[in-house]
């Protein structure tokens, strides 16, 4: 079980909450102030017989004093604390980090889910991430706004929306939508089996990294792509109101408690309300009682009713965090309809995390993601697991074969996955005075034939860490005509290994990534830390191409005599004729033939011709033949030819009227000319030019 | 007439059509000029290995016998020669598909036979000498003097039984027309056609050539809408048995002259399939119009 | 020109895919199968003596159309054929009840094939009491290439550099002074470049500078024009005909050559008519001489002779202009 909070810390907070001084408290217990001070500072503990008395004074029971998992003195009023403007008059127009991102649900899904993956708690089971789109209207909306203390923030919104900044326009639009459409869209992201927002209110920790700081990347282990770094700003960016609420179940107790740590954070630009200037963020919470943070809203341990009102209930007590983006929208998406946003999320999750979501027979997936949509608490789109196989069948197959140890060395059928190794010489970090050495890391390259429905193919998907996709690299030097393939490169920790060289490779590659984590290149960080780093990356790329070529490249044994290129290109058989578009005046041609075998066994054929328009009549000879398996086709004789449109029949000739574009005639074949019963044959009709044409 | 090559090469070789054609002068095709034997042998590529089956002597032997035996009725030589050539030059279809081998037989081993068998039947002794069509020396498998015989035996035999092949080769129209059709690549189809021909021959039916051509056209035409392999299923040939039969050439005696040799025992066609197709083809034949061959090719005018 | 049948046929596409292959039980590298070109290069590196190849075939047919269609006993068959060996092997494919595709193994017996077999798929059904009706086929066949090192369709001519004077091919000796020859008697037309013709190969393969490059271009165009013209004649000499004498447009390189040049030879005629006209002029000699000029023109144009000649003339005049300055 989680540890209880230190008695002294707990007691100190209870005294502040009840606004009792240590002297008053001591007096009520009949002790000296020094004795109470010793308890609060942890130098001494009260004797057992004193505990009952302390409980009585604080208005609680003995059990609470032992467990210390509840505060006494009833709930403090929840409210908004707005940071006042800097005394130096500097004006911040908004969260710089948040506004570095556009409101893009795909980016949000990527960043937030990556954070959850980085914060996975129990590595024997997946971290579960659920996205919920929740639309509120009418009474549900009112009740939510009440819980949110909307009345307290409304004046700030109105003021902030007045400014001429870009942020203000977004805010104004958000307020207008709320007012005129009386609806509000919430996007909720829950993770389970994750760390949760642990740590103290202001000092270093996950909680402070998310709630109190803007650019802090609270890095816990060196696999992380920078959890809670810049990425968290995508949450605020996705809110038209710059407002995100959080409810976290902690993996490590804080203040003796783990469940329902709730706080809200609002990012607004500089504004003036009732003559007071405010800048930057505001927090929704309980007024702090500590001296140096007096009045600042801090997270509070909410009861179940409050989280329900705030649409933030969590399932069970599995640790993790629920983020609620208030007034969510997707500037990048086609529309803000629930369905299209749901699809955007689903797609983004599948595209970015198919690898983390893939499991082997005995290897669990790292991630289990799902998306659902609600309207006023009622399900609109049921919770549906994102299945990586649906969008990336071949890639998923490749990884699964690797996890199950079923890869082959050489591809011989479409369903197989070839595995090969790609060496990366990892330099040791620069240490002054020491010569740099390298250690060889062996990345894993998986290759399989692309699936017919794959949108993206014939690239090497490069991954590290928690199988996060860094880039899709276009291989070089494969030669022409290689069949579409899928390739995955697992480097660093993504290989599934965990040794010193693997960790060194992981660190090296992370250093090679820009803040967007979307390629491996010579970043400043990399070149400053490692000697010869750019060369190592070039070699790595070359090794990748070589390994890929060995698996799928066409092997030429050098025996084919290709001849000089200058000549070869003039002898290609598949090039369209130069000037092929140039055509003569055109000739009548058969456009369409329909036909049936009549009762006498003759073919009755209805033939439509396309005729180039000209002033003279066209004269031609219709010909019917039977199709054959091989060789020459037998001709059929006509028993009758009958003009239908724009033509006349003279003997076995057809005369097409001048100045028309089409003609139609009917022909009946002569049964006695059939080499086999009509029903047994396919028939072909053609028109041959009669050489002399006279009108 | 061209004489027996003075010193025929002992072993078969492959002569490309391009090289072979360069030797086919008017004089050679008319039987007036000799073929430069040394140049032909030099231009050819020897076949791999020392297998007995690539010996020319056994081939020469049956050709000489045929020219002797059918001196008065040259076309009749086909039916006698086809199975014996097939059983003498034992090989796979892949090997037989090399035209070089047939070119070499015609130019280096037995140009005299080509001239004997294919010089146009002459009515007059005009000034211009009668020439053998070059395709009899270097043509496609249905024209070349030896290829047509070997492939007729191959396509119309029923496993080891060359009987149907003898029937087919007994009718020039059958070799000339049917052998060109893809349809005979299906064994029951080929055998059913031979069976219909045999019935006609036995009953003394008139206009046999016209009937055979009409039958071929009907089978070829219906073959564009019907899959004979589905109507008349057959089993895959026994490739191993055939390979063994080819290997036996090392020790096999020369082919008999008075009775038929045995072909490779690679499986007979299913009786039921042959019967079903025979019935169908009989019906085709009954319905098909007989066209006068003299008018064929100008029917529509 | 489409064919009209007396029974309903499939409208939807029948598509075949070779998923994998084995040679004598050993799996074939997947890189030897090209799904985009529909070619299998069936060979085992450094092994010529294999006996049997097996192709794993998967075929999709328009299922809804088949299920709701008027045909009974619908089956799907693979047809492996090669004209040169008169071989046609038909394999029945199977479909599992809840599967959407037909599958089967097609056996390729080495002794029955020479060079390139084609693999088609036919959908067959019973209609109007008649069994075995072909109701659908694949649009384009797969090619099983027994010699190809790579699974590609033949797209260009072979060019062989060989010593005419002292090389292994004796018949070339009498052409020792010829810079090049075009050989259309091979399976695939081949340009033979004479390496004993001094300076020819270096000029074509390693021209430096604008003047040399322009000269190489002119020479290549000349050779190409020669080749196209020779191939045209060769293709025209080897046609198949309908009963009424209408020539068929052949397949293979012959078809490609005719399709490529005929529109320039008879620009006023559609392709089929142009082919018939070319054949009849050649056969009866009517105006055949005049057609020669047209063929020459078409071949030169196809070999980009006019374009490369202009480039060469400009390069020469620039070089001389530069010298004067």
Q: What is the dihedral of CA B228, B232, B233, B234, to 10 degrees?
A: -100
Report how far residue A219's alpha carbon sits from residue A333's, in angstroms, rounded to the nearest whole number: 31
Give the mean model confidence (pLDDT) for residues A172-193.
90
pLDDT at A326 over 50: yes
pLDDT at A323 over 90: yes
Report how far residue C292's alpha carbon sits from residue C232's, in angstroms, rounded to the nearest whole number: 11
Task: Give the Cβ contact number of residue A391 at 10 Å.
Answer: 18
Do residues C128 and C263 share a domain?
no
Report how far residue A319's alpha carbon sits from residue A293's, in angstroms, rounded to the nearest whole number: 28
Contact A571 C3 (CB under 8 A): no
Q: Is C50 left (phi over 0), alpha (psi -120 to 50) or beta?
A: beta
Residue of C3, C6, C85 lying closest to B93 (CB–CB): C85
Q: Residue B155: pLDDT band by 50, 70, 90 thresholds? A: very high
Give the mean model confidence (pLDDT) for residues C54-60.
94
Which pLDDT does position A225 carry in this prediction?
Answer: 39
Q: For all residues of chain A together, what is the average pLDDT?
A: 84
Confirm whether C116 is domain-assigned: yes
Which pLDDT does position B64 carry in this prediction?
Answer: 94
Q: For all residues of chain B together, what is the average pLDDT?
A: 88
pLDDT at A220 over 60: no
Cα dist from C65 to C10, C61, C74, whole Å? 7, 9, 11
Do residues C94 and C197 share a domain?
no
Do residues C129 and C215 share a domain?
no
Give the residue from A563, A546, A347, A570 showing the smallest Cα distance to A443: A546
Give the mean model confidence (pLDDT) for residues B242-262.
93
Q: Which residues of B77-110 are buried (b: 16+ CB within 10 A; e: fewer)?
A: bbbbbbbbbbbbbbbbbbbbbbbbbbbbbbbbbb
Question: Which residues does chain A have within 8 Å of residue B300's beta carbon, measured at their own beta carbons?
Answer: 623, 635, 637, 652
Do residues C42 and C127 share a domain?
yes
3-state helix, strand, coil in chain C (%, to 5): 35, 30, 35
- Using a CB–CB cut-off of 8 Å, the residues of C that contact B are 3, 5-7, 51-52, 75, 77, 79, 81-90, 107, 109-114, 122, 124, 130-134, 170-171, 183, 185-186, 243-245
Q: Is B180 left (phi over 0), alpha (psi -120 to 50) or beta?
A: alpha
Cα dist from C322 to C237, C299, C316, C319, C325, whole Å? 50, 34, 10, 5, 5
Confirm whether C3 is domain-assigned: no
Quote the Cα angle for C16-C21-C24, to 5°.
Answer: 145
Which domain-ending residue is among C145, C169, C201? C145
Give the mean model confidence (pLDDT) for residues B148-177.
95
Show the 3-state SS of A603-622.
EEEEEEEECCCCCCCEEEEE
Over pLDDT 70: what percentage of chain C? Answer: 96
Tens digit of each residue's pLDDT (9 = 90 or more) over A618-661:
888 999 999 998 888 999 999 999 999 999 998 889 998 888 88
Confirm whether C9 is domain-assigned: no
Chain C, nearest residue to B183 by Cα = C88
Which pLDDT does position B294 carry in this prediction?
Answer: 45
Q: Which domains does chain A have, with CATH numbers?
A: 7-67 (1.10.260.40), 95-384 (3.30.565), 393-552 (no CATH), 589-689 (2.60.40)
Which pLDDT does position A2 carry in this prediction?
Answer: 47
Residue of A635, A676, A680 lying closest to B299 (CB–CB): A635
Do residues C284 and C209 share a domain?
yes
Do residues C39 and C167 share a domain?
no
Report how far residue B107's alpha carbon sits from residue B42's, in angstroms, rounded to the nearest whole number: 12
Task: Give the Cβ contact number of residue A356 at 10 Å.
Answer: 30
Give the residue from C9, C117, C89, C99 showing the smallest Cα distance to C60: C99
Q: Bigger pLDDT: C121 or A11? A: C121
Collapsed DSSP state (helix, strand, coil) of residue A206: helix
Over pLDDT 90: what percentage of chain A? Answer: 34
Give the mean model confidence (pLDDT) for residues A144-159.
90
Contact of A581 with chain C, judged by CB distance below 8 Å, is answered with: no
User: What is the H or E stretch that residue A240 is in?
Assistant: strand A239-249
Contact of B157 with chain C, judged by CB distance below 8 Å, is answered with: no
Collapsed DSSP state (helix, strand, coil) of residue C21: strand
Which pLDDT does position A228 carry in this prediction?
Answer: 56
Contact A573 C6 (CB under 8 A): no
Which pLDDT does position A593 carry in this prediction?
Answer: 92
Q: What is the dihedral of CA A268, A271, A272, A278, to 10 degrees?
A: 60
Collapsed DSSP state (helix, strand, coil) of residue B37: helix
Do residues C75 and C176 share a domain?
no
- Contact partners for chain B, using 3 or more CB pairs closer than 8 A, are A, C
pLDDT at B48 over 80: no
Q: Residue C57: pLDDT band by 50, 70, 90 thresholds? A: very high
Confirm whether C88 is domain-assigned: yes
Q: Bigger pLDDT: B239 or B128? A: B239
Domain that holds residue C37: 15-145
Q: Bigger pLDDT: A365 or C99? A: A365
pLDDT at B45 over 90: no
Contact of B217 with chain A, judged by CB distance below 8 Å, is answered with: yes
Q: Bigger pLDDT: C228 or A575? A: C228
Instruction: Give the least confident one: A131-145, B19-33, B62-76, B152-166.
Output: B19-33
Question: Which residues does chain B have within 8 Å of residue C5's beta carbon, measured at their own beta carbons?
Answer: 225
Contact B222 A634 (CB under 8 A): no
Give the mean model confidence (pLDDT) for residues C214-218.
91
Q: Which two tokens stand for residue B226?
A: 């019907």
Which pLDDT does position B40 carry in this prediction?
Answer: 85
Confirm whether C24 is domain-assigned: yes
Q: Residue A67: pLDDT band by 50, 70, 90 thresholds? A: confident
Which domain-ending residue is among C121, C145, C169? C145
Instruction: Give the least confident one: A229-243, B149-163, B284-298.
Output: B284-298
Over pLDDT 70: what percentage of chain B? Answer: 92
Confirm whether C325 is domain-assigned: no
Do residues C136 and C219 share a domain?
no
Which domain-ending residue is among C145, C171, C194? C145
Do residues C248 and C170 share a domain?
yes
Collapsed DSSP state (helix, strand, coil) of residue C97: coil
Which of the residue ranges A150-164, A377-391, A543-557, C247-261 has the most confident prediction, judged by mean pLDDT? Answer: A377-391
Confirm whether C99 is domain-assigned: yes
Number of domains making up chain C: 2
Tens digit of each residue's pLDDT (9 = 90 or more) over C296-311:
999 999 888 999 999 9
Contact of B141 with chain C, judged by CB distance below 8 Å, is answered with: yes
Q: Residue B82: pLDDT band by 50, 70, 90 thresholds? A: very high
Report how far residue C199's alpha carbon sits from residue C212's, in angstroms, rounded to the nearest whole number: 12
Report how far residue A489's alpha carbon sits from residue A472's, in angstroms, rounded to the nearest whole number: 10
Tens digit of each residue's pLDDT (9 = 90 or more) over A36-45:
888 888 888 8
Report how far residue B195's alpha carbon sits from residue B210's, in angstroms, rounded to the nearest whole number: 17
Which pLDDT does position B297 carry in this prediction?
Answer: 41
Give the mean model confidence (pLDDT) for residues A291-314.
86
Which pLDDT does position A450 carry in this prediction?
Answer: 85
Give the mean model confidence (pLDDT) for residues C283-295.
88
Contact A629 B180 (CB under 8 A): no
Q: Residue A615: pLDDT band by 50, 70, 90 thresholds? A: confident
Q: Which two tokens stand for residue A576?
A: 């369209």
Q: Which two tokens stand for residue A309?
A: 């009102």
pLDDT at C160 over 90: no
Instruction: Give the least confident one: A221-235, B43-57, B134-148, C118-132.
Output: A221-235
What's this model's pTM, rounded to 2 decimal places? 0.71
Which of the residue ranges A5-9, A514-518, B240-244 has the most confident prediction, judged by mean pLDDT? Answer: B240-244
Do residues C221 and C285 share a domain?
yes
Do residues C196 and C306 share a domain?
yes
pLDDT at B197 over 90: yes
Q: Residue C88: pLDDT band by 50, 70, 90 thresholds? A: very high
**Smallest CA–CA separation between B185 and chain A, in Å?**
11
Confirm whether C151 is domain-assigned: no
Task: Tell me whether residue C180 is exposed, middle or buried, using C-beta atoms within 10 angstroms of its C-beta: 0 to 12, 13 to 18, 19 or more.
Answer: buried
Over pLDDT 70: what percentage of chain A? Answer: 88
Pairing of strands A300-301, A320-328: unpaired
Of the residues C1, C2, C4, the best mutation for testing chain A's interface (the one with the most A CB atoms within 10 Å of its CB) is C4
pLDDT at A270 over 90: no
Q: Which residues of B184-203 are buried (b: 16+ CB within 10 A; e: fewer)?
A: bbbbbbbbbbbbbbbebeee
Give the mean model confidence (pLDDT) for residues A300-326.
91
Q: Bigger pLDDT: A573 or C224? A: C224
Do residues C313 and C175 share a domain?
yes
Give the mean model confidence (pLDDT) for residues B56-65.
94
pLDDT at A187 over 90: yes
User: What is the H or E stretch that residue C298 is in?
Assistant: helix C288-302
pLDDT at A543 over 70: yes
Give the mean model confidence (pLDDT) for residues B96-124.
89
Report how far residue B217's alpha carbon sits from residue B221's, in angstroms, rounded to the nearest whole number: 6
- Contact partners for chain A, using 3 or more CB pairs closer than 8 A, are B, C
CATH of the domain at C107: 2.60.40
pLDDT at A479 over 70: no
Of the residues B53, B93, B217, the best mutation for testing chain C's interface (the one with the most C CB atoms within 10 Å of its CB) is B93
Phi, psi of B165 (to 5 degrees): -65, -40
Q: Give the relative orientation of helices A166-181 and A150-160 as an angle to the nearest 10 degrees.
A: 130
């Amino acid at each position: 079980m989680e540890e209880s909070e230190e008695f002294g810390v707990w007691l100190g907070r209870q005294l502040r909450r009840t606004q009792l001084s240590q002297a008053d408290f001591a007096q009520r217990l009949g002790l000296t102030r020094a004795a109470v001070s010793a308890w609060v500072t942890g130098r001494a503990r009260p004797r057992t017989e004193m505990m009952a008395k302390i409980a009585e004074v604080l208005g609680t029971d003995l059990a609470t004093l032992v467990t210390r998992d509840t505060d006494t003195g009833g709930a403090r009023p929840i409210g908004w604390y707005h940071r006042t403007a800097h005394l130096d008059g500097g004006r911040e127009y908004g969260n710089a980090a948040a506004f570095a991102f556009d409101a893009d649900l795909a980016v949000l899904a990527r960043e937030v889910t990556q954070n959850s993956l980085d914060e996975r708690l129990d590595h024997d089971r997946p971290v579960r991430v659920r996205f919920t789109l929740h639309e509120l209207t009418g009474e549900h909306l009112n009740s939510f706004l009440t819980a949110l203390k909307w009345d307290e923030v409304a004046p700030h919104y109105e003021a902030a929306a007045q400014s001429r900044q870009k942020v203000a326009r977004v805010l104004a639009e958000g307020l207008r939508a709320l007012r005129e459409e009386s609806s509000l869209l919430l996007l909720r992201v829950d993770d389970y089996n994750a760390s949760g927002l642990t740590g103290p209110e202001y000092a270093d920790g996950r909680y402070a990294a998310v709630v109190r700081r803007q650019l802090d990347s609270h890095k816990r282990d060196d696999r992380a792509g920078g959890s809670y770094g810049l990425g968290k700003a995508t949450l605020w960016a996705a809110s038209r109101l710059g407002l995100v609420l959080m409810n976290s179940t902690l993996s490590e107790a804080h203040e003796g408690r783990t469940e329902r740590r709730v706080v809200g954070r609002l990012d607004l630009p500089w504004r003036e309300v009732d003559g007071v200037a405010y800048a930057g963020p505001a927090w929704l919470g309980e007024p702090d009682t500590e001296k140096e943070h007096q009045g600042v809203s801090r997270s509070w341990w909410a009861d179940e009713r409050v989280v329900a009102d705030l649409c933030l209930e969590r399932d069970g007590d599995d640790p993790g965090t629920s983020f609620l983006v208030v007034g969510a929208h997707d500037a990048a998406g086609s529309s803000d309809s629930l369905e299209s946003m749901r699809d955007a999320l689903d797609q983004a999750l599948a595209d970015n995390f198919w690898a983390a979501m893939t499991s082997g027979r005995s290897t669990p997936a790292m991630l289990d993601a799902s998306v659902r949509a609600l309207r006023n608490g009622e399900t609109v789109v049921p919770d549906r697991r994102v299945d990586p196989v649906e969008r990336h069948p071949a890639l998923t197959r490749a990884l699964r074969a690797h996890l199950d140890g079923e890869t082959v060395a050489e591809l011989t059928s479409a369903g197989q996955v070839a595995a090969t190794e790609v060496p990366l010489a990892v330099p040791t970090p620069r240490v002054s005075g020491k010569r740099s050495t390298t250690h060889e890391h062996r990345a894993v390259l998986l290759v399989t034939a692309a699936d017919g429905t794959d949108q993206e193919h014939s690239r090497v998907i490069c991954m590290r860490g928690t199988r996060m996709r860094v880039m899709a690299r276009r291989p070089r030097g494969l030669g022409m005509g290689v069949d579409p393939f899928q390739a995955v490169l697992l480097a660093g920790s993504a290989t599934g290994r965990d040794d010193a060289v693997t960790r060194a490779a992981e660190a090296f590659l992370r250093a090679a990534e820009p803040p967007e984590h979307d390629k491996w290149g010579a970043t400043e960080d990399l070149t400053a830390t490692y000697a010869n780093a750019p060369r190592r990356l070039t070699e790595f790329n070359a090794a990748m191409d070589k390994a890929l070529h060995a698996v799928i490249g066409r092997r030429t044994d050098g025996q084919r005599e290709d001849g000089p290129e200058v000549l070869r290109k003039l002898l290609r058989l598949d090039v369209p004729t130069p000037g092929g578009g140039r055509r003569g005046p055109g000739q009548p041609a058969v456009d369409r033939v329909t036909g049936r075998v009549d009762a006498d066994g003759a073919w009755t054929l209805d033939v439509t011709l396309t005729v180039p328009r000209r002033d003279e009549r066209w004269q031609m000879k219709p010909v019917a033949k039977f199709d054959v398996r091989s060789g020459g086709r037998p001709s059929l004789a006509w028993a009758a030819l009958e003009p239908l449109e724009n033509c006349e029949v003279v003997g076995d000739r057809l005369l097409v009227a001048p100045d028309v574009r089409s003609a139609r005639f009917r022909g009946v074949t002569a049964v006695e000319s059939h080499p086999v019963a009509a029903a047994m044959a396919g028939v072909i009709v053609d028109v041959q030019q009669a050489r002399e044409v006279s009108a | 007439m061209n004489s027996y090559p003075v010193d025929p090469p002992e072993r078969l070789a492959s002569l490309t059509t391009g090289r072979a054609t360069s030797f086919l002068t008017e004089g050679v095709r008319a039987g007036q000029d000799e073929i430069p034997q040394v140049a032909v042998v030099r231009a050819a590529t020897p076949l791999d290995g020392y297998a007995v089956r690539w010996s020319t002597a056994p081939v020469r032997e049956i050709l000489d016998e045929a020219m002797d035996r059918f001196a008065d009725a040259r076309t009749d030589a086909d039916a006698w020669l086809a199975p014996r050539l097939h059983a003498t030059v034992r090989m796979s279809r892949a090997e037989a598909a090399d035209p070089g081998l047939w070119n070499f037989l015609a130019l280096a081993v037995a140009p005299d036979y080509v001239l004997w068998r294919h010089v146009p039947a002459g009515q007059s002794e005009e000034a211009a000498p009668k020439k053998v069509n070059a395709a009899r020396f270097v043509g496609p498998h249905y024209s070349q003097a030896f290829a047509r015989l070997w492939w007729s035996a191959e396509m119309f035999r029923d496993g080891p039984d060359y009987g149907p092949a003898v029937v087919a080769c007994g009718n020039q129209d059958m070799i000339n027309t049917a052998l060109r059709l893809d349809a005979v690549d299906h064994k029951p189809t080929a055998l059913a056609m031979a069976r219909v021909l045999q019935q006609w021959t036995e009953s003394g039916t008139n206009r046999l050539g016209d009937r055979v051509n009409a039958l071929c056209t009907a089978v070829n035409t219906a073959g564009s809408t019907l899959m004979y392999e589905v109507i008349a299923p057959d089993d895959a040939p026994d490739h191993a048995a055939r390979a063994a039969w080819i290997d036996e050439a090392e020790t096999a005696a020369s082919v008999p002259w008075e009775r038929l040799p045995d072909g490779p025992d690679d499986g007979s066609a299913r009786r039921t399939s042959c019967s079903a197709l025979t019935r169908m083809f009989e019906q085709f034949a009954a319905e098909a119009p007989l066209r006068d061959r003299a008018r064929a090719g100008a029917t529509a005018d | 020109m489409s064919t009209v049948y007396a029974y309903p046929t499939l409208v939807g596409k029948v598509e075949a895919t070779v998923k994998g292959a084995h040679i004598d039980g050993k799996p074939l590298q997947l890189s030897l199968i090209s799904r985009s070109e529909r070619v299998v290069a069936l060979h085992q590196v450094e092994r010529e003596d294999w006996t049997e190849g097996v192709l794993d075939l998967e075929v999709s047919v328009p299922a809804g159309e088949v299920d709701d269609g008027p045909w009974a006993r619908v089956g799907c068959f693979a047809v492996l054929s090669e004209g040169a060996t008169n071989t046609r092997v038909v394999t029945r494919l199977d479909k599992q009840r809840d599967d959407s595709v037909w599958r089967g193994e097609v056996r390729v017996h080495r002794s029955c094939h020479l060079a390139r077999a084609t693999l088609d798929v036919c959908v067959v059904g019973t209609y109007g009491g008649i069994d075995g009706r072909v109701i659908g086929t694949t649009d384009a066949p797969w090619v099983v290439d027994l010699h190809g090192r790579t699974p590609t369709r033949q797209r260009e001519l072979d060019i062989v550099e060989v010593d005419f004077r002292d090389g292994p091919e004796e018949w070339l000796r009498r052409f020792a002074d010829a810079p090049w020859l075009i050989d259309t008697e091979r399976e695939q037309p081949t340009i033979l470049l004479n390496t004993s013709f001094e300076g020819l190969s270096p000029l074509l393969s390693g021209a430096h500078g604008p003047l040399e490059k322009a000269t190489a271009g002119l020479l290549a165009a000349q050779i190409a024009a020669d080749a196209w013209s020779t191939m045209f004649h060769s293709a025209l000499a080897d046609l198949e005909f309908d009963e009424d004498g209408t020539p068929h447009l052949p397949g293979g390189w012959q078809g490609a050559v005719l399709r490529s040049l005929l529109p320039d030879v008879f620009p006023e005629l559609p392709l089929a008519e142009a082919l018939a006209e070319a054949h009849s002029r050649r056969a009866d000699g009517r105006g055949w001489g005049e057609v020669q000029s047209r063929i020459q023109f078409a071949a030169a144009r196809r070999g980009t002779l006019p374009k490369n000649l202009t480039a060469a003339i400009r390069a020469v005049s620039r070089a001389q202009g530069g010298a004067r300055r």
